[in-house]
Amino acid sequence: MNVLTIEHLSIDFPTTKGVVHAVTDLSLSVAKGRRVGFIGESGSGKTTTALAVMQMLANPGKVAGGAITLVDTDILTLNEEEMRRTRLSRVSYIPQGAMNSLNPVMRIENQLWDGITAHEGTTDRAELKRRSDGALESVGLPARVGRLYPHELSGGMKQRVCIALGVILTPDLIIADEPTSALDVVTQRHVMQTLKDVQARIGAGLILIGHDMGLMAQSVDELAVLKDGELVEHGDVRQIIENPKHPYTRELISSVPLVGGESFLDDEVGAPPVNRGKPGVPLLEFSGVSKTYGAVTALQPMSFRLDGEVPKIISIVGQSGSGKSTMGSLMLGFNPPSTGQVLFEGQDIATMSAAQGLEFRKQVQAVFQDPYACFNPFYRVNHALKFPFKQFGYAKSEAHLQEKMEEACRAVGLDPGLVLGRYPHQLSGGQRQRLIVARALMLSPKLLIADEPVSMVDASLRASILKNIYDLKDRYGISILYITHDLATAYHVSDYVIVLYQGHIAEAGPPAAVIGNPQHEYTQLLIDSIPWPDIDRPWGTSSTAAEDAARLDRLAKANKTEFRGAVQGFELEIG
C-alpha cells in the first residue's frame, strides 16, 4: 500500500525574471513502512516537493499541475481547515534546524501537548502526560526531559524532541528535511538511528531529504535523485549506489571522499614547491598556548612549531566545541591566548608594532566557513579582492590589479568575465568560496588558515574547492592549517593531523596512521560515525548511542594523548 503517491507534479514560482519551474513533472510513490531518500543539491527541488505535500509552499510558489495523494486523500483539494487537521496527524514534518523550531519559552511537554490538543481536543492532563512521556521514551529520552526548556537540551536532544513531536500522533508519513545537517557526526548517527527505529515501530513511510550520499546509503531503502527540479533517477538504494545510471548520480557518489579510498586530488605534481620560509625561524609557533573563557577551557596548553621551509597542510579535526576554531582565531590574532605566546617568525603577535602587524596580515590569511557572510552585500565582489591587494601595496596600477584578479579567478576555475563585477547574492555558494580562495592566491601569504572551508558548499563542489586549496600549497608554496570536522578530506589533503577533543589533543600524527589506523578511542568513534556510501557497512544500532555517551564521558576524564609519529618540519607537544 502506498502512503504517498505523487503524479506528474509541477511547482512554479513566478518571479520578476519570469516563471521558475522549481519542480517539473515529478512522479513517485512511497510505500508503507519504506524509507525514501530525496537527494540533490540546493535548488534541486527536494524541499519544495516535501513542502507541497504539506501544503506549506512559500509564497509565491504554487502547484501548477499534477496530483498528490496521501493514502486515499487528494491533498490538493483540501481546504485550509482540513489541511490543518491533516498536518501532524497524518503527515508530519521534521525540520532542519531543531534549535529554531522549538518555542524557547515553553516546556518540552507543553509543546508536545499542544500538538495532541490541537488535533484531538484531549485535555486530560494525566492522559497527555502519559502520551508525551511515551513519545519521549520512544526517541530514547528520559521522561524528565519533558519538564525542561529547549535551551537546557543539547542539539541532538532537541532534534530528537522534534522527532518525538513528529511521531506523537502516529502519522502515515514522516518527512525529515536534513534532520542532522546541523549536528556533528557522532550525534548525527544517534539521531538517525532514533529516527529509523521510531519510523519502523509505527510503520509510517519516511521521506529523508539530504545531500549526503553516505548518510542516504546507510539510512534509506529507496533513493530519488533530483536535479534542477526533475527526477533523474529513482530506485532501490543498493542498485543506485552500486550501478548508477545517470551521470549526475555517479558524480554525487564519487564526490564523497572516503578514508583510504581513491584520492580526489590529481597525482601530477605541479611546479616544485617554492621555498618561502626564513631559515632557522619557525613560521608559526605556539608556546604553551591555552585559552579559557571564564570557567570553560576551550584549549588546553599546547606547543607546536611549524617550520615554513617546505609548505605543509596541517589538519585540525574534531567535533563542534573541540577547540579547533579557537585555535584558528588565536593564530589569526583575533583572540589573545590566556597563557603562552603565539609567535609569527619569532615575533609575538600580541606585541607587534603597526608595521609588523601589517606584515603579519600580509603573510597570514584565512578562508572562512560561510561563503555567504564573507562578502559585504553592499559592494560588488571585486571589492573583496581589490581592497587587500591595494592595502598591502601590491597593486602597481589599475590594469595590473585587473590582470591579477582575472589570473587568480582563472586559477581557481572561474570565468572572470562572469564573476567579477557582480554582487555577492548573484553568485552561488561555490563561486563565492572559490573567489575567497582566489583572494588568498592573489595575496599569496606564507600561511593560510582554512576554517571549515567546504562545510557549507554543495557536496559535488567540495572536492574541486579542496583541490584549489591544495594547489595553493603545491604551486604557490603556501602552508595551510586546515580546520575541519570531516576526517575523510583531512585524510587526503594533509601532511599531519591533530585530533582535538574538548580542547585536548587526542591523537596526532601523519594521516595514514591517525585516520587510516586510529589507536585512540575517540578517533575510532569519529571514524565509525561517518556515514559511507556503502550499504553493507554496519553503522551501529540503537544501543550504540548509550555506549558512545559512556565512552565520551570516560575519554573526557582520561585526557590521554596518542602520538603517532612525526613529520619533518612540524613539532608538537603538550603543555
Partner 1 sequence: MADVPLTRSERRAQRRIRRFDNPWLNPKLFWGVGLLVAIVALGILGRMFWDPEMVFVGSGLPKLPPPGFENLRGQTGTFAHPLGTEGSGRDMLALIIIGAPNSLYVGLLASLIGMSIGIFLGFTSGFVGGRTDDVIRVLSDVMITIPPLLILVVFQSAFGDVTLTLMALLIAGFVWQSPTRLIRAQVLSMKQSGYVQMARLSGASTWHIMFREMMPNLVPYLFGSFIANVTTSIVTAVGLEVLGLGPQRIPTLGRTIYEAINAGALIQNLWWWWGIPTLLLAVMFIGLLLINLGLDEVSNPRLRKLSV
Q: How far is the CB of 15 from partner 1 (least distance, A)?
A: 8
Q: How far is the CB of 376 from partner 1 (least distance, A)?
A: 4
The DSSP string of 157-199 is HHHHHHHHHHHTT--SEEEEESTTTTS-HHHHHHHHHHHHHHH
SS3 143: helix
Q: How far is the CB of 18 from partner 1 (least distance, A)?
A: 10
Closest CA to 135 of 117, 155, 97, 108: 108
Nearer to partner 1, 91 or 330 (CB): 330
Instruction: Figure out which of the listed residues 388, 429, 477, 509 binds partner 1, where binding follows CB under 8 A.
Output: 388
426-465: which residues touch partner 1 (CB under 8 A)? 436
479, 280 contact by CB (below 8 A): no
331-370: which residues touch partner 1 (CB under 8 A)? 332, 334, 357-358, 361-362, 365-366, 368, 370
Cell of residue 51, nine digits: 513542502
Find the part of the chain contacting partner 1 (CB under 8 A) among 276-284, 286-294, 387-395, 511-519.
387-395
Cis peptide before 518 (omega within 30 of 0): no
The answer to whether 378 contacts partner 1 (rule: CB under 8 A) is yes
Nearer to partner 1, 91 or 366 (CB): 366
Is the alpha carbon torsion for 228, 230, 236, 240 positive or negative? Answer: negative
How many chain residues touch partner 1 (CB under 8 A)?
A: 29
The answer to whether 70 contacts partner 1 (rule: CB under 8 A) is no
Nearer to partner 1, 61 or 214 (CB): 61
95-154: which residues touch partner 1 (CB under 8 A)? none
CA distance 223 to 239: 9
SS in 3 state form for 435-481?
HHHHHHHHHCCCEEEEECCCCCCCHHHHHHHHHHHHHHHHHHCCEEE
Nearer to partner 1, 239 or 376 (CB): 376
Nearer to partner 1, 147 or 390 (CB): 390
Nearer to partner 1, 425 or 557 (CB): 425
Nearer to partner 1, 198 or 384 (CB): 384
The answer to whether 394 contacts partner 1 (rule: CB under 8 A) is no
In order of 14, 52, 307, 348, 515, the CA distances from 351 in angstroms are 57, 58, 21, 6, 38
Q: How far is the CB of 110 from partner 1 (least distance, A)?
A: 29
276-335: which residues touch partner 1 (CB under 8 A)? 332, 334
Query: Exposed, middle or buried: residue 413 (CB in 10 Å: 0-12, 13-18, 19+)?
Result: middle
The answer to whether 421 contacts partner 1 (rule: CB under 8 A) is no
Q: How far is the CB of 564 from partner 1 (least distance, A)?
A: 33
Q: If you compute the radius of gyration of the chain from its CA atoms, what whole number of angstroms results? A: 26
Instruction: Figure out which of the listed residues 77, 243, 376, 426 binds partner 1, where binding follows CB under 8 A.
Output: 376
CA distance 509 to 265: 21
538, 532 contact by CB (below 8 A): no
Instruction: Figure out which of the listed residues 103, 391, 426, 542 binds partner 1, where binding follows CB under 8 A.
Output: 391
Instruction: Figure out which of the listed residues 375, 470, 476, 532 binds partner 1, where binding follows CB under 8 A.
Output: 375
The answer to whether 387 contacts partner 1 (rule: CB under 8 A) is yes
15-54: which residues touch partner 1 (CB under 8 A)? 15-16
The amino acid sitting at 36 is V
Nearer to partner 1, 373 or 550 (CB): 373
Instruction: Figure out which of the listed residues 164, 374, 401, 408 binds partner 1, where binding follows CB under 8 A.
Output: 374
Q: Which residues contact 296 (CB under 8 A, 6 or more apart)?
A: none
DSSP code, position 71:
T
In order of 72, 420, 464, the CA distances from 410 in angstroms are 55, 11, 14
Cell 586559477 maps to which residue? 411
**Where on the chain is the footprint of partner 1 (CB under 8 A)?**
14-16, 59-60, 332, 334, 357-358, 361-362, 365-366, 368, 370, 372-379, 384, 387-388, 391-392, 436
